Amino acid sequence: MKHKALRDQVVVITGASSGIGLATARMAAERGATVVLAARSADVLATVQAEIEAAGGRALAVPCDVGDRADVQAVADRAIAAFGGFDTWVNVAGLTIYGPLREVSDADNARLIQTNLWGTVFGSLVAVEHLRRRGGALINLGSVASDLAFPFQGMYVASKHAVKGFTDALRMELLAEDAPVSVTLVKPTSIDTPLPQRARNYMDREPMLPPPIYPPEEVANAILHAAVHPQRDIVVGGGGKLMVAGKEFAPGAYDLLAPAIIAMQKRGEDPRDPAGALHAPKDAGEVRGTQPGYVMRTSAYTRATLHPVAATAGLIGLGLAALTLAGVGTGKPGSSRGRGRSA
């Protein structure tokens, strides 16, 4: 299945006021797409809409709590009224909680599940009702936590496992009815966004993400690639893929890493804002976070999975070049040295 060129698409993005959602909205607009921005932070959305329009693009800001199905339906209705419909729907909105599972309140856990899981469910079901008639792409943001567990982010992990299961089941149902809708699950590794700073934090230290860390633009690029050239799953960050493979190979050994993983999620400073943005919008408007340490520039692994034919051709080319160099070094027939002697 192949969809319209991005410049001809209307793209709906939830969680568009911060992090990956904001990076995706800006990148989509730069590439010519019409963008519908959905998030709780109405003031930030209005600023982003103005920014896109000032650059000659088209955008529509729709304040929305994705945990409320009526709000999500309103986003679709506004997109249809303004632009005649939409071609791609991207569910990005999500938050996390840091702390031991036994300490987290039921209210905090329920709010996280309402946003991360039910927000994705509502967005997917509303989007598909439109897309099954029109055709297009549904893209859900999972995580390497869809395949791995991280201590001190237990409910976030549970929500991302659930998002994966829901997305896989929905894809199968759409295939069974031959609906013209592609379904992609994007699974980022640790990404340099404000997610830790906006998290509900029960720890005695400011939270952070375990390395390796990748830029949010790498996720945005993968999302927009899937809007035109659908793939079933896209892992962003080769480090995450290695962790998943290691856990599958030796799950018991991975479990023993718990103390190290907990330590890698704590910065050496007191918590700044333990309440975070879990229950109310706060500190939106930034793509990048304050993650300490090195942030990778790109992910060669992810780029290769997005363009497998080109990557394979490149590997074959490198192999042929290596063989040629080996021939030059040994003077075997076929090398420049060998041809020189036989001439």
Residues marked active site are found at 156
Structure tokens at 160: 């991302």
> How many angstroms separate the Cα of 337 from the Cα of each of 100, 276, 329?
66, 67, 8
User: 154-176 vs 106-113: helix axis angle to the nearest 10?
Assistant: 30
Residue of 47, 27, 46 lying closest to 92 (CA atoms)? 27
- Assess contact for 244 and 145: CB atoms under 8 A: no
CB atoms within 10 A of CB 130: 19
Considering only the C-alpha atoms of the chain, give the largest distance between any 2 of them, rounded to a whole number of Å: 83
Return the residue matching tokens 């080769």: 238
DSSP 8-state code for residue 333: T
- Assess contact for 208 and 8: CB atoms under 8 A: no
Cα–Cα distance measured from residue 84 to residue 295, given in angstroms and rounded to the nearest whole number: 40
E strand segments, 258-332: none
Burial of 56 (0-12, 13-18, 19+ CB in 10 A): exposed
